[in-house]
Amino acid sequence: MVTGDNINLEWILKHRAIQTYFQPIISIRQQTVIGLEALSRGLNANNDLILPQPLFTVAAATGKSVELDRLCREKALENYKRIPDNDSFLFLNLNTSILDEGVVGSGHLITAVNQLGLKPSSIVIEVIESKVHDIENLTRFIKLYRQYGFLIALDDVGSDSSNMDRILQVHPDIIKIDRVLICNINTDYYKQELFKALVLVAKKTGALIIAEGVETHSEATTSLELGADFLQGYYTAYPAPFPQHINSVSAKTMRLLSSAYRRSIVENIRNMSLKRKFYEKILEGLIKKLACIPPEHFEMKLNQIAKDQTCVQCYYILDINGTQITETVKAYLHNTEHCHGMFHPDCKGSDQSLKDYYLYIHSGFERYISEPYISLANGQPCLTGSILFQAYSGNSYILCIDFTC
């Protein structure tokens, strides 16, 4: 590989010495390659490859960013045009830093697309908003090219430099979640929750999600389970100049992933069903014991039971108005405090009437099992089960249990 000190950018620009590599973006649910991202490499006089980072660094240092960016896009469009029987989208990177150089409205990209007889609707422009200093230029560019028919993807979402508020400004058709979030997502609860939050934003705004930088089978299956629409990364295929080759590699990966994803979803559904039945059994068993004692003995009974359950973090009881009538009784195996002072269990008399585990019961449900979340009692992942019961006095109460995920 050629280093920055040995790059003759003038020669590259003069001889249009850019090699386009393509990396597939795949849909497991549709079992197809939905897109090809064009990635540019430079070539020197000896036909040695030059990686993009040193190439674009030299261009920025010599004031040639616009020329290099345009050449890379032209070569990508030309090579995409040559692909036979191609119905996939072309994902085209735009060096968004050049928007600060007054190129908005030049019409260079739409002219190149029209000259090759390509449809703008088959091209996705990838933008990295963090590289633009003037957000108004970015907004004007996106508005203009949307009018031409191009799709817009917001790249590197979730990276250190990305601003989530730009999703609201750009209104992307596609959100590409960065490798920073994807790396080891199968074992990182916090990354999973942030990924799910981005998926929720995408669904609410009509955008699709690409998990970018997927390098392992576990990262791929977890991303799919969390709601990714498409996958891209070394696990599916390395970038290559011959899309026919990478398509065959991707087909093999898609078959493998499809089978694994199906098994995983079925297993998760079965496991969740079994867990819900298990949690409901614990709730039902405990209210039988509570129903035959006076309310003033509820807390004592919870303390006795707290010794028995290894899957429980804590117990507490509400009245029919959502007021907590017992202390939060912690199970003995989970009787540890979180290091952060913001996390502490609620005490007797706390108002829980705005919590889902109360509102569902108040709305007429006899029982409720929440989705996993971080407990404010101890800062640990949990889910809450609640169930309505009647004491022998005739008054109704709600038993709540925080289960360990």
Q: Which residues contact 70 (CB under 8 A, 6 or more apart)?
A: 108, 112
- The helices-and-strands tally (H runs, E runs) of the chain is 12, 15
DSSP state at residue 5: G
Q: 257 is written with which tokens?
A: 């992933």
pLDDT per position as a tens digit, 76-100: 999 999 998 888 999 999 877 666 5
Check residues 384 and 204 and name the one with the higher pLDDT: 384
Q: What's the confidence (pLDDT) of residue 325?
A: 98
Q: 355 is written with which tokens?
A: 């919590």
Q: In DSSP terms, which residues pair with 43 in a beta bridge?
A: 49
C-alpha neighbours within 13 Å on the C-beta side of residue 161: 9
What is the distance between the alpha carbons of residues 218 and 278, in angstroms, rounded to a whole number?
Answer: 27
pLDDT per position as a tens digit, 306-345: 877 789 999 999 999 999 999 999 986 555 555 556 788 9
pLDDT above 60: residue 161: no
Q: What's the confidence (pLDDT) of residue 309?
A: 75
What confidence category does residue 38 fall into, taking pLDDT thresholds of 50, 70 and 90? very high
Query: Please, what are the domains in the chain?
Result: 4-265 (3.20.20.450), 282-404 (3.30.450.20)
